[in-house]
A and B are shown apart, each in its own frame.
Chain A
Amino acid sequence: MKKTGLICLLVFLLVPTLYTFANGEDEGAATGELTVWCWDPNFNGYSMKQAAAVYTAQNPDATINVVDIPENIEAKIEAGLQAGGVGLPDISLFQDFIIEKFLQNYPGSFVDLKAEGIDYSQFAPYKVGPMSEGESTYGIPFDTGATGFFLRTEVLEAAGLAPEDFYEGMTWAEVIALGEVVKAKTGKALIAYDNTSFDFLRIMVQSTGEQFFRADGTVDYDTPAIKKSLGILKEMNEKGLLYMAEGWNNWIAAYNGVDDVDAAGFINGVWIVGTLKSQPENAGKWMVAPTPRLDGFEKGRNASNNGGSSWYVFSTTKAKTLAVDFLQNTWAGTSPEALDFYNRILKDAGAMGTFLPSREGSNYQAEDAFFYGSQPVFKDFSNWMAQVPVLKYTPNYSAMRIALNNAMQLMYAGDLASVDDVVAAAATEYSQISGN
């Protein structure tokens, strides 16, 4: 009896290891099947499906499956990379700040697309930086997260302000002064702020042209850029200029209502336009002003970035040639079909690419009646995109932002009194959660 049991156990333990020897063959170009992961069927999923349609129209033997992955695609990719690539698709989208961590922790897991012949001079440089390592470049940039200051003109009007009060070159000090007017006249906060998110501080710091990390990759919270930004947020919060939302959904609800809003506006990336347009009743109310700048930073601009993601090909793919050919002829393609595709996803899904030739498309130049005074918003965003200072992520970006954001939450809750305390608390938590 004992022996049989033992044998059974051994068989069960060995079978999985034996399975791992199975492997596939590389298939020829333009035929075969690709699986692509993304996470929003109305935005990046829609865009990828359009790209797939363009490609399969010319290559009928290719099949491209676009799959919607719920919550935390990064954790899933992490799990797949852990399992030696099992369960991973051929191509996946993920946030730009993750790639450096993956490249460091999972060397050799991504296909070097530069070596495969992609021309990176055609993409916005700030997107290409993080995905490059030495002579290699690994991703195909998808969308930009170029930021703007979104404002509801009817609230400004009620406060006696005009759209022109928010102008190119404005500083945070001026924004605070205007915010106080809005607060005094309407009782509303100027900016809807997502308390669970690090986005806002990141936008401010990136606009200064400064960094969260030193040149050697170690974190540095004690910098003028971070402390000044924290000081501004603290002041705005104390003056009631921030509407504190709990999480993403609550944050959207704070400004996207039809009749009544909690805040006059917000700052975020261009990709939020689709969310605004999901309320057609608000047509004509919104305007987009440039991102405010911080005083005293030489490399500072009235432009920043938040979010944005890129496509990557996993080395474990069985259809590398097809994957590269597909990306080359759609997302990195200059054919009329490819450029038309970029032009279409901008209009239909609000997806603004970072492929420079696509900026000539008609929808990039067009006036948009959804915005106040038919503002040509995508043209404005293109201009801002070109000025965005480069932000370095390093593999520790996740830990850095979590530690700092937690300290900021304590600041808003009144548990940390000064900016110096916030910086110190963030540094302590960072060293504990990162083990560095």
Chain B
Amino acid sequence: MIVRTRRLSISRVLLMTLFVLGAVISLFPFIWMLVGSTQNPNDVVRGSLRPGKEFLLNWEKINSTYNVLRFFFNSMKIALVTVALGIVVNSLAAFGFEKYRSKARDRVFGVLLLTLVVPQMAIVIPLFKQVAAMRMLNQHIAIILPSVMSVFIIFFLRQNFKMFPTEIMEAARVDGAAEGRIFFSIVIPSMKATFASASIYIFLAQWNSYLWPLMTILSDEVKTLPIAMSSVMRSYTIEYGGLMILVCISTFPILLLFLAMQRQFVQGLMGSIK
């Protein structure tokens, strides 16, 4: 019996070591980007892990060439507006598909699911012509509108709405509530976690999006953070320290957002695979 416990504790230590190692691997790039933002550009490239003293210098250099705060606010604005529109449009659709089922709508949903697998690349070229024809190029609206409707988010929300008891809706109808009111004042408040995790999804996808903004953004004032990072990488002389600051600025806000809303996020995920 004693032998058994001992063996167990050894394997436990081993397990713990492996998990700590895994955690280090997961966290390493985050730590490194912080360290890198304080270093001389050469040390960044050489992969040194010793913190430097050049954070302010790096910031001054990058901020004199680029309007870093502007990029931040652009990214934030685009992501938030997309979340607001996306949540409304997609949750209405998901609710319509799930709680007002009909053969025709089920078929429509089937078509939507099919396009879930259409690669973005396949529509980027015609979509660009479309957006250009609509005179939206170089405006944030060109980034926002095409990403409002998301089949994945509709699918995700629909899975969650399955859990919402139809009886409550029936009861509300008996009380004379209109369908829209049922949705806005009964369904939404009772499924906050679901909406929170859908919002995080949309926010993350838009905050990090790269290819489409790269094609539609044309001038400095409307650039987003990922585009700014790739601008810096393109220079003949790369300001690595400043680049690391941009990397930090683009990473840590969503990190905080995630940490703050972690509980809701996981709860929302639960609904999607039940």
Measured CB to CB, the residues of A under 8 A from B are: 15-17, 19-20, 22, 35, 37, 39-43, 65, 67-72, 75-76, 79-80, 82-84, 86-87, 89, 249-250, 252-253, 256-258, 271-272, 274-275, 278-279
* A15–B134 CB distance below 8 A: yes
* B235–A71 CB distance below 8 A: no
- Indicate whether A67 sits within 8 Å of B236 (C-beta atoms), given known contacts A86-B137, A87-B137: no
* A17–B237 CB distance below 8 A: no
Pick the residue among B125, B137, B220, B228 that contacts A67 (CB under 8 A): B220
Contacts of B231 in A (CB 8 A): 39, 41, 68-71
A-B contact pairs, 27 of them (CB 8 A): A17-B133, A22-B135, A39-B234, A40-B235, A41-B66, A41-B231, A41-B235, A42-B65, A42-B235, A42-B236, A65-B219, A70-B223, A70-B228, A70-B234, A76-B215, A76-B218, A82-B128, A83-B129, A84-B132, A86-B135, A87-B138, A249-B238, A250-B45, A257-B46, A271-B236, A275-B236, A275-B237
Contacts of B214 in A (CB 8 A): 70-72, 76
Cα–Cα distance between A279 and B237 once the two chains are bound (Å): 10
Contacts of B230 in A (CB 8 A): 70-71
- Indicate whether A79 sits within 8 Å of B42 (C-beta atoms), given known contacts A67-B218, A71-B230: no
Contacts of B238 in A (CB 8 A): 249, 252
* B236–A272 CB distance below 8 A: yes
- Indicate whether A86 sits within 8 Å of B234 (C-beta atoms), given known contacts A67-B218, A67-B219, A68-B220: no
Cα–Cα distance between A43 and B218 once the two chains are bound (Å): 19
The distance from the CB of A40 to the nearest CB of chain B, in whole angstroms, is 5
Contacts of A41 in B (CB 8 A): 65-66, 231, 235
Cα–Cα distance between A249 and B66 once the two chains are bound (Å): 20
* B132–A86 CB distance below 8 A: yes
Cα–Cα distance between A4 and B129 once the two chains are bound (Å): 27
Cα–Cα distance between A350 and B173 once the two chains are bound (Å): 75
- Indicate whether A253 sits within 8 Å of B46 (C-beta atoms), given known contacts A16-B130, A76-B215: yes
Measured CB to CB, the residues of B under 8 A from A are: 42, 45-46, 65-66, 125, 128-130, 132-135, 137-138, 214-216, 218-220, 223, 227-228, 230-231, 233-238
* B125–A87 CB distance below 8 A: no
Pick the residue among A65, A75, A249 that contacts B45 (CB under 8 A): A249
Residue in chain B with minimal CB distance to A75: B215
The distance from the CB of B261 to the nearest CB of chain A, in whole angstroms, is 31
- Indicate whether A79 sits within 8 Å of B134 (C-beta atoms), given known contacts A41-B65, A71-B233, A272-B236: no
Pick the residue among A17, A40, A84, A252 that contacts B234 (CB under 8 A): A40
Contacts of B134 in A (CB 8 A): 15-16, 19
The distance from the CB of A268 to the nearest CB of chain B, in whole angstroms, is 11
Contacts of B132 in A (CB 8 A): 80, 83-84, 86-87
* B137–A16 CB distance below 8 A: no
Contacts of B46 in A (CB 8 A): 253, 257
Cα–Cα distance between A185 and B72 once the two chains are bound (Å): 51
Contacts of B233 in A (CB 8 A): 70-71, 249
Contacts of B219 in A (CB 8 A): 35, 65, 67
* B218–A89 CB distance below 8 A: yes
* B218–A87 CB distance below 8 A: yes
Residue in chain B with minimal CB distance to A35: B219
* A274–B138 CB distance below 8 A: no
Most interface-central of B133, B137, B227 (chain A CB within 10 A)? B133
Contacts of A15 in B (CB 8 A): 134
Residue in chain B with minimal CB distance to A17: B133
Cα–Cα distance between A187 and B119 once the two chains are bound (Å): 49
Residue in chain B with minimal CB distance to A13: B130
* B135–A19 CB distance below 8 A: yes
The distance from the CB of A266 to the nearest CB of chain B, in whole angstroms, is 14
Going nearest first, the 7 A-B pairs with the smallest beta carbon separation are A83-B132, A70-B231, A86-B132, A87-B137, A16-B133, A253-B45, A70-B230
